[in-house]
């Protein structure tokens, strides 16, 4: 599971401090990565609306199995090796 953050409160690329604060604020324990200008996020949108925070579930082989959503416990368990 990863979360992508496209911009900070100032509409700039998020810093490491922004990413840590985001994770702390939302209780996120998986990686939160900077996604300048939502470049990667836009490729996986289910609609034209960017929801924040949003998550993507990857298998150990980096296959995207859930996009633009929060996966269920069953989906998380199914992606585990």
What is the structure's pLDDT at 11?
92
- Average pLDDT of every residue of the chain: 83
Q: Do residues 38 and 50 touch, judged by C-beta distance below 8 A?
A: yes
More reliable by pLDDT, 1 or 68: 1
- pLDDT tens-digit profile of 6-44? 899 999 999 999 999 999 998 989 899 999 988 888 877
Residue 15 buriedness (CB in 10 A; 0-12 / 13-18 / 19+): exposed
User: What are the extents of the domains in the chain?
Assistant: 2-79
Largest CA distance in the chain: 39
Confidence of residue 78 (pLDDT cuts 50, 70, 90): confident
């Amino acid at each position: 599971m990863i979360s992508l953050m496209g911009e900070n409160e100032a509409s700039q690329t998020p810093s490491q401090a922004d990413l840590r604060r985001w994770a702390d604020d939302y209780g996120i324990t998986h990686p939160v990565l900077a996604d300048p200008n939502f470049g990667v996020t836009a490729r996986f949108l289910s609609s034209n609306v960017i929801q924040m925070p949003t998550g993507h579930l990857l298998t150990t082989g980096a296959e995207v199995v859930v996009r633009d959503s929060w996966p269920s416990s069953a989906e998380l368990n199914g992606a585990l090796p």
